[in-house]
């Protein structure tokens, strides 16, 4: 049960009081034209320090002025280059608008600094709520929002300080792995461990999927090959590079692949077509993510489609009621193929 406490935002007057100076001096210092207005750097430093201590954020719209709620809802999203985030954003916008909220979305390209900067910018626009999607450091964002009295939520990747809505990565990956293992056995005869490609070892989703991957192997009665767990990042180039390295080390490539996202799959497919490694005998693949064209590839690819409508329903349930029943909601993904 998480409740959002409406704390009062720090103002230039508060800061002026704390610094024993005037609001205009604070203003001049904080918006950077203190030199032009001939404020001493002593005072400037003092004000800057106090502002930082207080977690001050510039109130961009003195207007939303007299409206206690801005009805602005911010979302941070890593990329627009895949169907998963695309549908999250599109549906998020529609659901926000349905509720009379104004969605502001920022694409942070998996850049941690940009995530923080974007969060601060949105707060200075007085957003009432913040949804951090696939954030690299969700807790940092939660912290910044909490300091401004703004509720926040994590989507896709969980945090520990705000309610989180994510896919059931463990169960999804376990089932996907099992399916690919079985298909592999049928196709090629004999039990053989899969290759895991893509994602970051440090992120929750990848580690949960790896856990499901391992448990599926154990249930299937075949040991995981530790050299074949390539959590090399999501980008196509990284996935292709990891495979290239593996090949350069003279490792045998297995007949079955677990690919951690369509983005990584893009790299895997490119590598395959460039090196012609698998030749005509395509590997059996499982992809933790969905794309309509991947479904049509002439390859054997099982897909797990994350249930975006169900995830966003949970997100807006929390926002609508202002409370989260559970700190972490895990939504079962959908199997395709």
Partner DNA sequence: AATTCTTGCTTCATCGATTGAGCAATTGCG
Partner DNA sequence: CGCAATTGCTCAATCGATGAAGCAAGAATT
Can you give the binding site for a second copy, defined by CB under 8 A? 59-65, 79-81, 83, 86-87, 89-90, 93-94, 102-107, 109, 121, 125, 236, 262, 266, 269-270, 273, 291-294, 296-298
Name the nearest CA neighbour of 111 among 134, 90, 144, 92.
134
Give the nearer residue to DNA in terms of CB position, either 42 or 186: 42
SS3 call for 90: helix
Q: Using an 8 Å Cβ cutoff, are 213 and 194 in contact?
A: yes
Give the nearer residue to DNA in terms of CB position, either 16 or 181: 16
The pair of three-digit structure tokens given for residue 117, joined into one six-digit string: 């900067």
User: How many chain residues are in contact with DNA, going by CB under 7 A?
Assistant: 27
Q: Which parts of 86-115 interact with DNA (CB under 7 A)?
A: none
Interaction partner, residue 79 (a second copy, DNA, none; CB < 5-8 Å by kind): a second copy
Q: Which of 3, 4, 6, 24 binds DNA (CB under 7 A)?
A: 24
Residues composing the chain: 337
Q: Which of 2, 17, 18, 23 binds DNA (CB under 7 A)?
A: 23
Give the nearer residue to DNA in terms of CB position, either 68 or 320: 68
Q: Which of 27, 82, 108, 133 binds DNA (CB under 7 A)?
A: 27
Interaction partner, residue 83 (a second copy, DNA, none; CB < 5-8 Å by kind): a second copy
Task: Tell me how far, at minimum, the Cβ of 23 lies from DNA, in Å.
Answer: 5
- Helix ranges (DSSP H) in 125-235: 138-147, 169-188, 204-220
The pair of three-digit structure tokens given for residue 209, joined into one six-digit string: 């999927």
Distances (CA, A) of 276 to 240, 244, 268, 281: 13, 12, 11, 10
Task: Tell me how far, at minimum, the Cβ of 121 lies from a second copy, in Å.
Answer: 7
Tokens 């677990």: give the residue: 258
Q: Which residues contact 64 (CB under 8 A, 6 or more apart)?
A: 70, 72, 126
Give the nearer residue to DNA in terms of CB position, either 38 or 281: 38
Give the interface with DNA as residue ranges (CB under 7 A): 9, 11-13, 21-25, 27-28, 30-31, 33, 37-40, 42-43, 58-59, 62-63, 65-67
């Amino acid at each position: 049960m998480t409740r959002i406490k409406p704390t009062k935002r720090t103002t230039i007057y508060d800061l002026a009081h704390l610094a024993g100076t005037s609001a205009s001096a604070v203003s001049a210092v904080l918006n950077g034209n203190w030199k032009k207005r001939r404020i001493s750097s002593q005072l400037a430093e003092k004000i800057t320090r106090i502002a930082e201590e207080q977690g001050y954020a510039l109130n961009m719209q003195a207007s939303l002025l007299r409206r206690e709620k801005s009805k602005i809802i911010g979302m941070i999203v890593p990329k627009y280059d895949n169907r998963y985030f695309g549908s999250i954003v599109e549906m998020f916008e529609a659901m926000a608008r349905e509720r009379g909220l104004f969605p502001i979305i920022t694409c942070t390209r998996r850049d941690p600094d940009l995530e923080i900067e974007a969060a601060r910018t949105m707060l200075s626009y007085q957003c009432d709520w913040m949804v951090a999607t696939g954030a690299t450091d969700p807790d940092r964002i939660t912290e910044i929002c909490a300091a401004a009295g703004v509720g926040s939520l994590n989507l896709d990747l969980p945090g520990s300080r705000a309610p989180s809505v994510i896919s059931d990565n463990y169960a999804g990956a376990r089932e996907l792995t099992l399916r690919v293992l079985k298909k592999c056995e049928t196709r090629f005869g004999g039990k053989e461990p899969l290759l895991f490609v893509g994602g970051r070892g440090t992120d929750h989703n990848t580690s949960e999927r790896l856990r499901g991957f391992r448990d599926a192997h154990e249930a299937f009665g075949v040991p995981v090959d530790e050299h074949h767990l390539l959590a090399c990042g999501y980008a196509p180039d990284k996935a292709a590079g990891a495979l290239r390295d593996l090949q350069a080390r003279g490792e045998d490539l297995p007949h079955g692949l677990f690919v951690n996202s369509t983005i990584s799959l893009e790299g895997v497919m490119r590598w395959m077509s460039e090196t012609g490694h698998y030749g005509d005998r395509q590997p059996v693949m499982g992809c933790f993510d969905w794309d309509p064209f991947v479904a049509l590839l002439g390859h054997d690819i099982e897909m797990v489609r994350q249930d975006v409508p169900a995830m966003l329903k949970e997100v807006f349930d929390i926002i609508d009621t202002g409370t989260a029943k559970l700190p972490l909601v895990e939504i079962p993904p959908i199997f395709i193929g």
